[in-house]
Chains A and B, each alone.
Chain A
Amino acid sequence: MPIQVLMPALSPTMEKGNLAKWLKKEGETIKSGDVIAEIETDKATMEVEATDEGTLGKILIPEGTADVAVNTPIATILADGESAADLAKAPAPAAKAAESAPPAAAKAEVPAPKAAPAPQAVAEPDPEVPAGTEMITQTIREALRDAMAEEMRRDPDVFVMGEEVAEYQGAYKVTQGLLQEFGARRVIDTPITEHGFAGVGVGAAMTGLKPVVEFMTFNFAMQAIDQIINSAAKTLYMSGGQMGCSIVFRGPNGAAARVAAQHSQDYSAWYSNVPGLKVVAPFSAADYKGLLKAAIRDPNPVIFLENEVLYGHTGEVPKLDDFIVPIGKARIARAGSHVSIISWSNGMTYALKAADELAKEGIEAEVIDLRTLRPMDTETIINSVKKTGRAVTVEEGWAQSGVGAEIAARIMENAFDYLDAPVARVSGKDVPMPYAANLEKLALPSAAEVVEAAKAVCYR
């Protein structure tokens, strides 16, 4: 029976890609290991290798086709003795991994963006953006890159360091093009040395430089957390205000997809516990840009938590010379009067989807995108809860000592009399992240859980 070649995934988060080029023609003999095609996403190109021997029977997806979903059959291979007449017998695409083995480098994963736009919210007007401002559509990846490039143009003391930030153009392609524009003095590839280069960054910042330190993921920043907390966060205080450091630690945080426990932890609560740090965790492309620029200018150490799943999401970014979103201000992403749903970063995906569902059932949820976790914009939360009388928090991290617990406490302290129901928390489950697809899905929060929690606090 003819063998189907399926569209492979370049990374755990890739959903589709472009078929750039066929390197074999129909009728050509193929050996296992031959490169038969090239596929690409907006940030990487990969070769497709045959894993079977035979003859390339039929090309199902012509070269130049964009947005081919992962696991779509792209060609068939005829085994010895089979002919074109056998092509009809090809099996239906199986729901298994792609024929070609996906790249599996543990540290330098090359995930591709999702083409899907971020959920569109019925948002309140953003006070940072003047009415009538022209908007451009960008991926979050591009918004981050532009933010760094703009700040580097503006201030020669700003530099970027981390693993694969320069020549590789960023493990997640967030620093694409920075080396070309700013050179190796200001875009610095480090060895795999999180503890060491975090300390080097803090030391440089103590002299007044403004490092942007990229962690390939915040999971690896565990190696560096001593320097982040004991050196970066505390020095201003310990020096009686003499010596602080303006430094940004940034990188993807939280669950990606199918990378299991050691690569899928949300550190929101960890860093937001520490006085001396500011902690930012945006959701929209505009906020990613405006808040990263604000973080780089901030004279304090800022933890800038990104989300890998969101990197490829597109959004509207104001076309302004200097678009800054102030740290410490939440945003009403969707106005409503029945229940306040409070989240940040990728938690907003579940929150906004849930709000859409709830609206169908007549419940108007007000969705607050915290954007900054420390200092937390308590006022916006409290004003909303005073209006709605009900609150649900949504986070990917664990519930115990989580940010949701902190929000619930602040609501209790500041708006107890306004509450019509106990605050509900939706969070990641209290387990290390499992690998199996079904278990991983169960471990993460979902829009359905948010809907359920919102209905529960509305006694519906």
Chain B
Amino acid sequence: MAAPKKAAASSPQDKTDGGSPPEFTREQELKALRDMLLIRRFEEKAGQLYGMGAIGGFCHLYIGQEAVVVGMQMALKEGDQVITGYRDHGHMLATGMDANGVMAELTGRRGGYSKGKGGSMHMFSKEKHFYGGHGIVGAQVSLGTGLAFANNYRSNGNVSVTYFGDGAANQGQVYESFNMAELWKLPVIYVIENNRYAMGTSVSRASAQQDFSRRGVSFNIPGKQVDGMDVRAVKAAGDEAAAWCRAGKGPFILEMQTYRYRGHSMSDPAKYRTREEVEKVRHDQDPIEQVRNRLLAAKVSEADLKAIDAEVRDIVNASADFAQHDPEPDAAELWTDVYR
């Protein structure tokens, strides 16, 4: 399966091997399918609720990019931290955060992860080591580098997985962070989710260096382009990067070549690309269909797959139900959590 965009051949950086990534066990395939489906169905439901007016403000859906967070999460161990930007629902579900709490935050209810005070872009979970959910493009890169700084300070062997997009990759503080991370050999994996569009601006219109795996070259940070539509390739790259970090060798950059099917946010008509382009990726590269097809080829029964579908739908429907019936925060909550 080809990556959505092939790298320039002159890059000195490592590339995804031409061959297939390491096979998953059946259990891994089933888990990847289930976790990606949960994100897909959750996001579809969030889109519906947005259309109904139950979710306000901005709502950036992760549909199409599921293999990135699910594959990366499979490469992590307990204690590793995750931080990302505003397109964060998928990351939260992948870390194991509760769908009810995420959906109720989207609807601004008291049972939401931030008691309704954060919304789509601002959720956190200490328990799941999820450090947000940040609405300022690129800010999470310095913060995620700080998480790695703390790991180093504590010598705890944990890795910070810091996600950002092809758009954020052009922010200045990203490079300030790269410099410090390599200088201090901080255990951070920079996962650049290249979904080809920063809002409505294609990579080719915004980026002088379109091979994001090379963005760390002048800091001596190794990088790798990964087929971000293949969960096995993502996991393999995550394993390699995590091992690099845990060995004390400093940061690692993974460019995940992926694609978002929906608009930048719910209010984006996506006039900057053709319907055919979207349909082609969906048809040829869909991360969930890839796993499903492999499972079917491996003689997993339709019934077993349907059971996964059903389980996921139940979770998502329950979360939507909860998020619409949970009360709004008490008015007194306006004044809490400003200071502690």
A residues contacting B by CB (< 8 A) are 159, 185, 190-191, 193, 195-209, 226-227, 230-231, 235-244, 275-276, 278, 299-300
Contacts and interface: CB of A to CB of B under 8 A. Distances in A.
A222 to B, nearest CB: 14
A199 B145 contact: yes
Question: Which residue of B81, B115, B142, B179 has the most chain A CB atoms within 10 A of its CB atom?
Answer: B142
B117 interface: yes
Contacts of B81: 207
A194 to B, nearest CB: 9
A203 B150 contact: yes
B119 to A, nearest CB: 8
Contact of B173 (A195, A201, A240): A195
B180 A203 contact: no
A236 B118 CA distance: 10
Contacts of B20: none
Contacts of A237: 117, 337-338
9 contacts: A191-B183, A195-B173, A196-B176, A203-B148, A206-B147, A230-B139, A237-B338, A238-B133, A240-B117
A407 to B, nearest CB: 21
Nearest to A206: B131
B25 interface: no
B124 A201 contact: no
B112 A240 contact: yes
Given A195-B142, A199-B142, A299-B340, A243 B126 contact: yes
A191 B143 contact: no
A200 B180 contact: yes
Contacts of A240: 112-118, 337
A200 B177 contact: yes
Given A236-B339, A241-B336, A242-B124, A203 B118 contact: no
B87 interface: no
A190 B186 CA distance: 14
A196 B132 contact: no
A412 B123 CA distance: 40
A231 B139 contact: yes
Given A204-B149, A239-B123, A240-B116, 10 more contacts: A199-B173, A202-B146, A203-B143, A207-B81, A235-B132, A236-B337, A237-B117, A240-B114, A241-B337, A242-B124
Contacts of B124: 235, 238-239, 242-243
B340 A196 contact: no
Contacts of B149: 200, 203-204
Contact of B139 (A199, A244, A276): A199
Contacts of B132: 235, 238-239, 243
Contacts of B145: 196, 199-200, 203
